Structure 1
Amino acid sequence: MNGTNGLRAVIQNANAPLFDAAGDPDTLRDSLTLGQLRRLVAQTPRPKLPLYAYKYEDTDSLKAELQEWFSYGDNEILLEAKQEYEGRYGVWSKSSIDTRSSYIDDLLQQLQSSEQADRIHAGMLLLYVVGGVFGESTAPEHQFHWITENARHFHSRSVFYKTYQSFRNTCEIFWESATEEDDFSQEASQKRSSCRLEMVLHLTVMYFMLEVLRTDQSFRDGLYALQPAILPYFIEMVGILRWKSGTDYPIFLVLWKTILAMLGGRTELLKTKEYARRRAGLPQELPKDIITASPLDYHIYRQEVISKYPSCQPPPPCLPIDFDATTITPSYTDYASRPKELPLLNNTYLATPMPSAAPSPSNSPKLKKQSFQTDQNMPFLFPITDEINESIPFSIKEAGELFHSRLNMSLATFQLWKEQDIFLKTERGWIDPVDDESENKDDSPEAIKLRIVEETYKSSLPHLQSCVVVLLKVLLAAVNVPQLSPIQEDAEEGGESQGRLTLDEIDDIRTREVTMKAISGIILLLLKWFRVSHVLKFEFLSQLLVDSRCPLLLLKVFGLQDLSTSIIETCEMKESNFFQVCSNHSQNCHSPINPQQSEPELLKPNGGIAITPSTTDEDQTLITEYSSRLFFTSINFLRILQKLVKKKAHRNLILVQYKSWQILRKPLKVAQDDLRLYVLKITKGQIPYCGRKWRSSNMRVITSIYLHCRPDLREDWLSGLDVEADIDDALPQEHALRAVIEGYNVRRYPSGMKALGYHTKLERDFFEEQIAQMSVQHDNEDIFMQEDKCEKREEMGETQR
């Protein structure tokens, strides 16, 4: 700010009159030229933009995640569970371990009762115990201690397994009652409401155990041993919600935490990816600080060098890619959509002679100087000496060796190349399509995770599309926020006293945010783990998301809100949160909040909590007043969008058509590194198709891409040398990729693909199909011949008449 004030003073002095009021020419002030003003502006230090102190992680803190499970309307259930426990049982914290174990066993016995009232009573008490027995707690920290201890005790008594079985039975009863559409009696409605309550109680116990023990290896092993497998079951249950009603909000949170507990987050992903590379026989990946090149980029560069220097032989590529290939996926599948040329035998104008040459040369104008210059596209054949190496410039050889040394074969590229080779051979009938890799017998944690992903994909294949539809429908309903309520409108027109939202409105906004957070976590984790297992699993899920218009829905999410303003609003009511409600209804807790340990808080007009900002040692202001839930959801949505359109020309063209840059400019204004990085990555893929006018007016964005995005050795996204060819090949490449995906799924998961209605070719081989096609063609020819004979007979009969 000091530099700005100094510049303002200089400009004011520059605009002042050259003479003072007395008109003395000796007091002539120094004039400021335009060049001096520009240098002064360039040298003036600009204030640094304040950054948000948010750090992206797999989840929020444990306390925050537990609080997000309960809506503000669930406080009555907590108090009812407390009343069910008190007066009937002893003090939990003073009981022995054996007494607690026998009490838990009694509750599990009631959980298997045939009477629904007994099951609900047992679920209430299990909820109270796993919630930390807050009636006996002395502080929120004391309650949190008993939450972790009771979760471990529940694990030792197999509470999760029995709760899971009881939940499945309750779901079957609920769906059977939900199918009875003609039964609108009060008894049937009460039965469905009781089933909903019972399911929510079971999900609460499972959610608390998943969140507290998801890093415990013994608990994770117990999840692996569940039958039926819990992860495919929850995915199937989400898919069933497409056709039947249920508890959609809690099941999304439980599914998200189940994926995290069984598979893990970013750390486990990196370890599993390294293991998958070793199993595939690939070398270790190059460090992130080294600029690398893909095999396809090196192949294109090598072909360009060979066409220009025929005597040059750069190091061979790691994959035998076709000479004119521009993508890894096969390009022959689009031949059917292209117009076929007529064969020479059917050409009517085959005997037409060539046109004769002109009798004399035409009077052409004088050739320009450019016509005599060397064509850069023509090969350099000379000079050639006895030693071939001397005919090639040293820089060209050095560039080829450098390019080859930075070659990075990703696991996805290797898997895609292998599968497209199998796909081509299968289509030509040269291999058995049932041929598959041998099962991995390794018992390492990474191998177990890959087997879990494989089993999940195999079991969930018929339900993935329904699961995607349900997730996106709920997301769309959460995005379509109603208009401002009268209270908010009065707040905008009137004073601050009328600006408070009601508790129900805050709870509704908070529930939508938590739902969007869970949906973003589910989709992102499934995409990442499917990609580690096999790239075509990832591509199949991406295909389902794109076909359901997920990219356009995500653009709508960012278009309907101004992230720079909504990110600082936290829809929370401190007095209605889980730990605060439990603390207020504890018998031993006198002061719900310790003022010495809590940070200073400012109550915002909308009922949110704002923390005072702080500064770092480098005088860089950090904004600590933000919504971590909205940050997490926004970054996840950007990462999902980037994964769906990365290196996909057809999908990037769709974003360009819908002018996504006008929408993505909003999150780019938020000063957070992860958020900006993925906005720049998405924008980088669209720049080749935006045109020169867009590039010239957005040079600051292009500069940010060069500064923050990881570059490649072959960077041609800004030049756009062959954009028209990329646009023409975009849709055929998308079709070719989908053909490879279908071949992969049909070959490895025939039962799941049959359930989806796909025709599998495993019943007969290639030659049987060819014979069948020939027989069909022969039958058609016989039919045509018979029709011709009938027509001729009719014509002869008419002539005779």
Structure 2
Amino acid sequence: MSKNNNSCRKLNSNIARSTSLDNLNYKKIAVSPPKFRDDTVTADSLNGGTSKIDTKQWDNPLLRDLDNILRNKLKINPESPVISRNNSLKNLRSVSDPKKHAFMKELGLDGDITTVNQVPFGPRDGSDDSSSSDSSDEETGIEDDDEEEFVNVDEIDGPIGNHLPDKRANIDMNKGDNIDYNLSANQDFQKSIDKRVAELDSGLSAEKQPQLKIDWEFKTNYGLEHELGDWFSIADYNHLPSLISSFKKYVNNKDKFIMDDDYAESIIKTLTDDLSVDLQSNLLTLCYISLGNFQQSNSKDDQVSLIRRNNTIMFDYLKEIINAFKDVATLCRDENKNLKKNTTLLFYACNILFTLINVAVETREENYVAVSKLIQIFEDEKLLQYLTQYIEHWRWNSRLSMRIRNIISLLFSLLLLQFGNIDTYKKTKKSLYKYHGIERKEKSYQTLSVSPLHFQAFQDDITARFPTFDMSNSKLPQSIDNTNSLSQFLEIPRSKAKSSLNSTLPAPGKHLATPAPSPPMSPILIPYNDGIKTRKSFQTNMAYPYLYPSDEENDNELSIKISNGMQSKNGRDGDVFIPHSVEEAAEILKKNLDIKLSIMQLWNERDFFMATERGWERDDISKKYDYSRLLNLDSLEEINIMKRIDTYYKDSFASFNSLIFVLCQIMESNLNNVEYREEDLPEGVTMETMMSQLEIVKAKELSLRSSVGIFYILLKWFKLNHILKFEQFSALLYDSGYINTCSAVLGKYSLVYADKAYNKTLKSPNTLWNLCSKFNPIYSKSLLEQEPEKKDINITLLTTVTYILRVLRKVTGDKTHRLKSLPLSVGTLFKQYYSVFNLDVYHPMLRIIRELTPFKNKRWKSEHMDLISGVFLYERLELIDNWVTGKDISGELMDAYGQEVALRALVQFYNFEHYQKSLEELGYMKRTVSHSNLLYKDSEYNDM
């Protein structure tokens, strides 16, 4: 009987997946009813028989069918009566049909079975009338053989048809053979089955498993110990002994170099001055010094302190080091001779710069003056531009001697130094808001705000409903409507008054001039007519003014309050009042209007664009957001950073496309990585034999982190500098297929995300500190005795995933046309990462889900309700938020392409106005007056 119940439950679940029980309306069909595998017909075919079902108490036809199955399942042949639930089933063996024997054995009825549960499945026509003596052929499901092959595939649980193998019919029921007719499972699947069975036996599955949680905070830089620990790869380990020998040859008193800062500075000065004379030996010695004299270090702390001290001394001699680096890098890029030697020298130069830059990033606050001078040297030497163009050259002429992995990591670290990390970004943003006089309240989940676009939509709705109500705001720009301008598509307020849904709603029933004193009563719903449900909509058409203003004289306190408030605020005589709730909502939105710096920049450039296309005077338009023209007499740090960003954007504009292409290739190279767990290794394979492969995977993952980190830093700082710089770079990312590449990488790591995040997969244990300790026994002993570092969390993976998701959010944010490019399975993909709790990983995912949800159907929303709930739990909402329901979806989709075109037109206009020389490198140029003259074109055509 248990198997029958299981079959019925599975039948119920199969049907429930295809349709909702609430919407299931039973209709009689003039054909033979469907039958189940044991020839039991449905309940509706029994309505004319002796079985009775109380339709008043049991209206659902699906449950009636299931109830009939349970009551009539044991009717094997018409000769045997229906067996009561309290009787034994021993007489089932007397059935003569061998096929019935096989089917009974398959159902588990091959023995003495007594039903224990006395509770009926559904409502009955009596307390114990489940058995009936006068059953008919129709009740037992006896049909012709021709019709027996028809079955409903949605209502069975097994093979279609009644043709069972002959060997099942010849089974001796008395032997009780236990034969498994299921397909054989592979070894891994069988292990998972056994594990699940063990959980069911032990009762662990009944307990709610707690959600996994990672206590980790996102940062762009995790300090020297983490950044330098993974800098070396397996091919670089053999260079360490040569570094030690070169230092011993050049420096006689090694102990004095460590103890005396003046002596160390003199050695470093001599080495940097002689770089042009003896490049190889001097670079080797400087590389050893930059790594902290690891042979003379007695512990990791000693080496880290020496790294900080030595590189701080080298700050003053940075220019010579940069020149040596450029010379070696150019040789590796252009020359064809001595490539092996030059490649080694390039590694030493990269190592010196990488260590020096990370020391400067870590000590930026405590050693502000020295680091500021260092940043200015990098700016004067234009190393950022050189590295970007170096990567661009690698796209067209890739060579192993160029060491592109080290160059990418070096570019990422240098961007952090020149622009700043997350902490520097927050301070700079706060200072810029103060500099431009923009007041913003501190963000909190208790204080909600409204964006200018939503405020304008609310303003349009209130004006449409109450034309006499003044809701103007001086902070918003003046609205200029011109259907012939692309600027109209830049920001489109989605007001309900202009929604396409109003076209389906009727006009108001009363004329505007003769309003009724109160709205009419709601119409009475007509009951179902012949079982057909009529759908009616009683929504208000927001395109028409409010027909029923309040003009009655009331003496209650609320009316007096409304009357006094409206008279004082709007100067009316009290004859016609606007509802107090509308007035209160308008005041709340005005106080909480949030205008960002990026919005101010966009409005300013849009005014400049509209003035140009209309031929207006443009001198009155402010240019305060063009930081390249500011003198910065007060030497403000935030203005200096903005100037550096502007210079880098101008010089590297033509190289951005190639930079994005190369970094996306680095991302795609990680799709072939193979992850291993220690228990999954074949017999005879140890971790030592896998070391080379693990080192390769480690190097590729570090390059992946640096690549997406470059995207994130550039987008973050470009947006703060000017919104249209950000839009230019994000458009290049979108056109380069970042969405598809990003989705592929996320899908790759989603399969092993939890295990890899908790370091349960195999990972190379080699670090710079382990390798350096091998040259000093004391260092090696102290490293072994030192408390092992907590390696419960894979910081590299979490940082990489966060970078990827944040860049994806920035590329697709507030752009419907790009949201359509997301894969259909992006919600399922996000659920894999949502299974491990961490807010820094959650935020970019939930913000994408917030924008994607309105364009999905109800089934998608029900399947991703955990992500939708996460938006309400962890994201900061707005005062006006209609992202789940209420959006004008058709209008959004209709204007999506036009908005993308208008945005790109404005970006092109911005680049032409401010960076014309940079565009000329790509072949663009402005038309002169002669070229745009129609007569000139005609004369040129006539000459031809």
Question: TM-score, with normalisation over the residues of structure 2?
Answer: 0.66
Quick check: 2:384–2:414 contact (8 Å CA) kept in 1?
yes
**1:243 corresponds to 2:396:** yes
The AA in structure 2 aligned to 1:164 is I
CA distance in 2, matches of 1:372, 1:670: 44
Instruction: Map Cα deviations across residues 654-709 of structure 1 (whole Å, 9 max, x no partner).
Output: 11x54322322221222222112221111111111112221133222211111111
Matched, 1:696 2:865: no
Match of 1:106 among 241, 262, 270: 270
Q: Distance in 2 between matches of 1:454 and 1:662?
A: 40
In the alignment, which of 222, 247, 253 is matched to residue 409 of structure 2? 253
Which residue is equivalent to 1:120?
Answer: 280
Aligned equivalent of 1:86, options 248, 251, 255? 248
Q: What is the aligned partner in structure 2 of residue 627 from structure 1?
A: 794
Aligned ranges 1:378-389 → 2 under 5 Å = 378-383=544-549, 387=573
Distance 2:896 2:540 in 1: 34
Segment drifting more, 467-476 vs 737-746: 467-476
Counterpart in 2 of 1:228?
A: 381
Q: Distance in 2 between matches of 1:495 and 1:119?
A: 50
2: CA distance between counterparts of 1:698 and 1:75? 48
SS of corresponding position for 1:643: helix
Question: 2:890 corresponds to which residue?
Answer: 724
What is the match of residue 278 of structure 1?
434
**Per-residue Cα deviation, 1:143-194 (whole angstroms, up to 9, x for no partner):** 2221111111212xx332211011112222333315xxxxxxxxx3xx1122
**1:567 maps to which residue?**
757
Percentage identity across aligned positions?
22
Where do 1:285-296 residues align within 5 Å? 285-289=441-445, 290-296=447-453
Alignment match, 1:407: 593
Mapped partners of 1:738, 1:510: distance in 2: 39
Q: Which residue of 2 aligns with 1:174?
A: 332
The aligned residue for residue 533 of structure 1 is 721
- Which amino acid in structure 2 is aligned with residue 454 of structure 1? D
Give the corresponding residue for 2:805: 638
Output aligned runs, 1:698-777, within 5 Å.
698-761=864-927, 763-764=928-929, 772-773=933-934, 776=937
- CA deviation string 1:712-739 (max 9, x = no partner): 1121111143101101111110010000
RMSD value over aligned CA atoms? 3.5
| Alpha-carbon spacing, 1:208–1:636, altered in 2? closer, same or farther (3 Å) | same
1:316 correspondence with 2:477: no
Q: Could you list the per-position Cα deviations for residues 262-286 of structure 1 after superposition, in whole angstroms to 9, with x for gaps in the alignment? A: 2211121112112222333322344
Instruction: Determine the structure 2 residue equivalent to 1:670.
Output: 836
Give the match for residue 560 of structure 2: none
Deviations, residues 95-136 of structure 1 (Å, cap 9, x unaligned): 4334323322332233112xxxx3121111111111111111
Q: CA separation in 2, counterparts of 1:383 and 1:692?
A: 38
Offset of residue 592 of structure 1:
4.4
2:740 maps to 1:552:
yes
Amino acid of the residue matched to residue 578 of structure 1? L
Answer yes or no: is the 8 Å Cα contact 1:220–1:261 preserved in 2.
no
Q: Out of 48, 55, 78, which is 2:217 matched to?
A: 55
Counterpart in the other structure of 1:160: 318
Q: Could you tell which deviates more after superposition, 392-401 or 58-67? A: 58-67
Match of 2:711 among 523, 527, 547: 523
- Which residue number corresponds to residue 427 of structure 1? 613
- In 2 relative to 1, CA 696–53 (structure 1 residues): closer, same or farther, beyond 3 Å? closer
- TM value normalised by structure 1: 0.77
Q: Partner letter of residue 642 of structure 1?
A: R
Pairing partner for 2:238 from 47, 59, 76: 76
Whether 2:304 is the aligned partner of 1:147: answer no
What are the Cα deviations for residues 767-797 of structure 1, in whole angstroms up to 9, with x where unaligned?
A: x776x146647988x99xx9xxxxxxxxxxx
Equivalent residue for 2:779? Answer: 589
1:652 aligns with 2:819: yes
| Deviation of 1:384 (Å) | 6.6
CA separation of 1:625 and 1:310: change in aligned 2, threshold 3 A: same
1:588 Cα deviation after fit: 4.4
Structure 1 Cα separation of the partners of residues 120 and 813 of structure 2? 51
Q: Which runs of 5+ in 2 are unaligned?
A: 1-85, 87-115, 123-205, 492-522, 527-535, 552-571
**CA gap 1:304/1:498 in 2 versus in 1, 3 angstroms:** same
Distance 1:292 1:496, change over 3 A: farther
Of 240, 263, 279, 2:419 maps to: 263
Partners of 1:371 and 1:203 in 2: how far apart?
Answer: 69
Q: For residues 608 and 922 of structure 2, what CA distance do their matches in structure 1 show?
A: 23
Shift of 1:46: 5.2
> SS of the counterpart of 1:716?
coil
- Give the Cα–Cα distance (whole angstroms) in 2 for the partners of residues 107 and 571 of structure 1: 42
Q: Which has the larger radius of gyration?
A: 2
Distance 1:754 1:296 in 2: 36
Opposite residue 535 of structure 1, the aligned amino acid is: I
The Cα shift of 1:461 comes to 0.9
2:455 aligns with one of 270, 280, 298: 298
1:685 matched to 2:845: no
In structure 2, the residue matched to 1:793 is none
Equivalent AA in structure 2 for residue 103 of structure 1:
I
Q: Which residue of 2 aligns with 1:502?
A: 690
Q: Distance in 2 between matches of 1:436 and 1:131?
A: 47
- The total of aligned residue pairs comes to 666
1:598 counterpart = 2:598:
no
Q: For 1:490 and 1:295, how far apart are their aligned partners in 2? A: 55
- Give the secondary structure class of the aligned counterpart of 2:282: helix
| 2:637 matched residue in structure 1 | 445
State the alpha-carbon separation in 2 of the partners of residues 474 and 444 from structure 1: 37
* Residue 429 of structure 1, CA deviation: 2.7
Q: 1:238 to 1:285 in 2, by over 3 A?
A: farther
Counterpart of 1:222 in 2: which secondary structure? helix
CA contact (8 A) 1:520 1:633 kept: yes
Please say if residues 489 and 899 of structure 2, whose CA atoms lie closer than 8 Å, have aligned partners that are also in contact.
no
Residues 316, 590 of structure 1: CA spacing in aligned structure 2 closer, same or farther, 3 A cutoff? closer
Aligned to 2:352: 205
Contact 1:130–1:151, Cα closer than 8 Å, also in 2: yes
Structure 1 unaligned blocks of 5 or more? 1-18, 20-27, 35-43, 179-187, 335-365, 602-610, 612-623, 787-801
Measure the CA separation in 2 of the matches of 1:640 and 1:400. 36
